[in-house]
Structure 1
């Protein structure tokens, strides 16, 4: 059975996209913390302060999540606008 998604809820798309990007930010932040501490131990004159990797591991998910929520809301509004004029995404579902 073919159905069409004609509108999406802006809040739920923003929340979902923000959560996805926050998860990606957490992974990137953890990688920065691990590799930053490894590089810090190799170079005593490193430009990254001692807790720089930990700060990034905390800040990146917050920043990525906020940006993701804003972009998710913008994408949802754009989808609703365009889907109202040319039609939405068609999906196939089985009962």
Structure 2
């Protein structure tokens, strides 16, 4: 077994931010569809505009929040792994 003793904070935060951007885009698309449908049904152009802007706004906000949260989690992992041990993983070398 191999043990992960510590995680580079910035590299983990960048990966976490990419996940946040992807999920923010998915939620932005859902809100866009709902906003456009409800805005058209009830004649509310503001709702349609919010729906369209959510495709841009949600990935940015989720990406920033995920970067910050990822940095905090990596920092806490490094502290906890030092006191209770890291995550054990099994690595297998692939033979060609």
Q: 1:47 to 1:37 in 2, by over 3 A?
A: closer
Residue matched to 1:70? 68
Q: 1:47, CA displacement in angstroms? A: 7.8
Residue matched to 1:53: 51
Conserved 8 A contact 2:24-2:59: yes
Is it true that 1:10 corresponds to 2:9 in the alignment? Answer: yes
Higher relative contact order (CA 8 A, sep 6+): 1
Q: Which runs of 4+ in 1 moved over 6 A?
A: none
Give the deviation of 1:37 after TM superposition: 0.5
TM-score (norm 1): 0.92
**How many equivalent pairs are there?**
93
Q: Structure 1 CA distance, aligned partners of 2:64 and 2:74?
A: 15
In structure 2, distance between residues paired with 1:50 and 1:83: 47
Give 5+ residue unaligned stretches, structure 1.
none
Q: TM-score, normalised by structure 2?
A: 0.91
Equivalent residue number for residue 34 of structure 2: 35
**Aligned equivalents of 1:50, 1:90: Cα separation in 2:** 49
Structure 2 unaligned blocks of 5 or more: none
